[in-house]
Structure 1
Amino acid sequence: MVNPNSNGSIAENARQFQDQLHRLLSKLTDTTDFIKNWPEAKGGDGSMHVERTSQLITKIHTTVQMLQRVEGFLQKDAALRETFLQCRIPLDLLDMLDSSKVNPDLFARGLLREALGQLAGLKRRKLALELLGGAITSGITGVPATQASAENVPSVKEEPTMNDEKDASKKRNIEQLEESSPVDDVEADTTTRKKIKLEHENEPEL
């Protein structure tokens, strides 16, 4: 927990704070073992329980005093307090806190921070895989999708139909008639026009 790169005063406060934490944890462990090894009363003699209860109360008072000292270190040094709050709690310690119901709020916040960290890692992996997939696809195809689709469209060549040829023939006959018809011979012109009209009407429909 102590940062060797810190200046002298901060490093000294961190060492003292770490030492107080070790003492507090040792006292908590001692008190827990004392409660676990609580003897059973034999017969109707309750003096043993009275003595053990007095010892337990003394241990609890000592633990509270040591906890107040730790809090005092944190109140004096804002930078040390911020560093302590940012420390990550091991999952095994969180499991122990949850099983013992010591501090469920601390357990929940620790698990939430761990879950958010894992979620951020999964998002980074997903983004990297998407970029890799795009690069592989671009390397395989070699051309944009729009250009490839335009090149695959077959060209359609238009061919003249029978109706188009028939219309063109009619148009040529009319143009020839207009060019060859004399202006002063109206009867001959009318007869020729009727003849051409009859020829086209008698043509079989396709």
Structure 2
Amino acid sequence: MSTSFQDSKQSLQERLHTLLTRLSDTSEILKKWPDTKGSDTTIHIKTTDKLINSIERIVDGIKLVEEKVNCVPTGESSGTDKDLPSKLRQIAIPLDLLDMMDYAGGLNPDCFARGLMEEAQRQMGNLKRRKMSMDMLAHFIQNGMKDREEKLQKIRSLDEKIAAADKREAEKESKQSVENFAAAVSKKRKRDDDDVDLDAPATKR
């Protein structure tokens, strides 16, 4: 572990600059990777060792930044370092390294405003999608209720037609029964009259 990583007095900005410097140094190693001269690969071994050491320094630099961001404030910490972890945790907007380098006694206004606008647009997009979903759901429910009402209306109309047909059939049967009864009474009266006519001559004799 490097000595700078153990130095808790470094500010976050200093640690970020250190990390970026180490990243830049590693990039230069990769850009200037030497060509092989004949069958001699010694140069590659040396350059690889140099690259590995540079990567290890980058890892230490990342730990150095994480230590400051995630640190628990102590009495020896400055006011800026005390407020930084809590402010970073309270913000739902991700900040990249360059934006964090703009930190100085508070979050960079431009960075915060950009992030806030992006977050607001994201939430507005979510609300619009939810509203669209609710509108679609309401439309489906309304159509379903309309279809159900139409089906119920058809069923009621059919029931009314069936009831009317049953009523007409009942009236027809009732009328037929009355007619049959009247015919039976008429036949009975006729038979009674015939019987009276047959009995009349016998009475005269």
Give the alignment's TM-score, normalised by structure 1. 0.41
Hey, which of these two has a bigger chunk of helix by percent? 2
Give the alignment's TM-score, normalised by structure 2. 0.41
